[in-house]
Amino acid sequence: MTVEDPYYSSAVHGPYELAEIGDLVLEDGATLRGCQLAYQTLGELNAAKDNAVLVTSWYSGNHSIMRDTYVGEGRAIDPARHFVVLVNQIGSGLGTSPHSLAGPYGRGGFPHVRIGDDVVAQERLLREVLGVEQLALVFGGSMGAQQTYEWAVRFPDKVQRAAALAGTAKAYEHCKIFGQTLVEALQSDPGYAGGWYPVGTGREGLQRHATLFALHVLSNDFWTEEHWRALGFSSAQDFRIGFLGAYFAPMDPGDLLCQAWKWQHGDVSRHTGGDLAAALGRITAKTFVLPISTDLFFPVVDCAAEQALIPGSELRVIEDVHGHAALFGLSPDYGRQVDAALKELLDS
The answer to whether residue 299 forms part of the interface with its own copies (CB under 8 A) is yes
Binds its own copies by CB under 8 A, chosen from 2, 9, 46, 188: 188
Nearer of residues 39 and 261 to its own copies, judged by Cβ: 261
Binding status of residue 306 toward its own copies by CB under 8 A: no
Tell me: does residue 269 bind its own copies (CB under 8 A). Answer: no
Binding window for its own copies (CB under 8 A); candidates: 58-66, 145-153, 173-181, 264-272: 173-181
- Site for its own copies contains 50 (CB under 8 A): no
If one asks whether residue 319 binds its own copies (CB under 8 A), the answer comes out as: no
Only segment of 26-34, 46-54, 215-223, 265-273 that touches its own copies (CB under 8 A): 215-223
> Catalytic: 142?
yes
User: Has 269 been annotated as catalytic?
Assistant: no
- List the one residue out of 209, 189, 207, 255 whose CA is nearest residue 3: 255
DSSP helix/strand/coil, 39 = strand
Distance from C-alpha of 57 to C-alpha of 89, rounded to nearest angstrom: 7
Helix (H) or strand (E) holding 258: helix 253-264
Residue 281 C-beta: closest distance to its own copies, Å: 20
Told to check if 181 binds its own copies by CB under 8 A, we report yes
Interaction residues for its own copies, span 143-172 (CB under 8 A): 172
Footprint (CB under 8 A) of its own copies, residues 190-209 = 190, 204-205, 208
**Does 289 engage in binding with its own copies (CB under 8 A)?**
no
Using CB under 8 A as the binding rule, whether residue 230 contacts its own copies is answered as no
* Stretch in the footprint of its own copies (CB under 8 A) among 4-12, 102-110, 220-228, 251-259: 220-228
Give the active site residue among 78, 295, 302, 320.
295
Question: Mutual orientation of helices 253-264 and 203-216 as an angle, nearest 10°?
Answer: 40
C-alpha–C-alpha distance, residues 302 and 143, integer Å: 15
Q: How far is the CB of 284 from its own copies (least distance, A)?
A: 27
Q: Residue 78 interacts with its own copies (CB under 8 A)?
A: no
Decide: 139 and 342 in contact? Cβ < 8 Å.
yes
Contacts of 202 (CB under 8 A, 6+ apart): 186, 189, 191, 192, 252, 253
- DSSP H or E run through 151: helix 143-154
* CA terminus-to-terminus distance, the chain: 48
- What single-letter DSSP state applies at residue 104? T
Reply yes or no on whether 82 is catalytic: no
Per this entry, what is the length of the chain? 348
- Pick from 171, 163, 148, 153: which is nearest to 290 by CA? 163
Work out which of 11, 29, 73, 224 binds its own copies, going by CB under 8 A.
224
DSSP 8-state symbol, 125: I
Neighbours of 269 (CB within 10 A): 16
Q: How many residues bind its own copies (CB under 8 A)?
A: 33
Residues paired with residue 290 on neighbouring β-strands, in sequence order: 165
Q: Which of these segments, 22-30, 221-229, 252-260, 330-338, binds its own copies (CB under 8 A)?
A: 221-229
Out of 60, 64, 100, 142, pick the active-site residue.
142
Strands 137-141 and 36-42: unpaired
Angle of helix 203-216 versus helix 173-187 axis, rounded to 10: 160
- Given the rule CB under 8 A, which of 152-160, 178-186, 266-274, 339-347 is the region that contacts its own copies? 178-186
Between 236 and 278, whose beta carbon lies closer to its own copies? 236
Residues of this chain that interact with its own copies (CB under 8 A) are 172-174, 177-178, 180-181, 184-185, 188-190, 204-205, 208, 211-212, 214-216, 218-224, 236, 240, 296, 299, 301-302
Catalytic center residues: 142, 295, 324
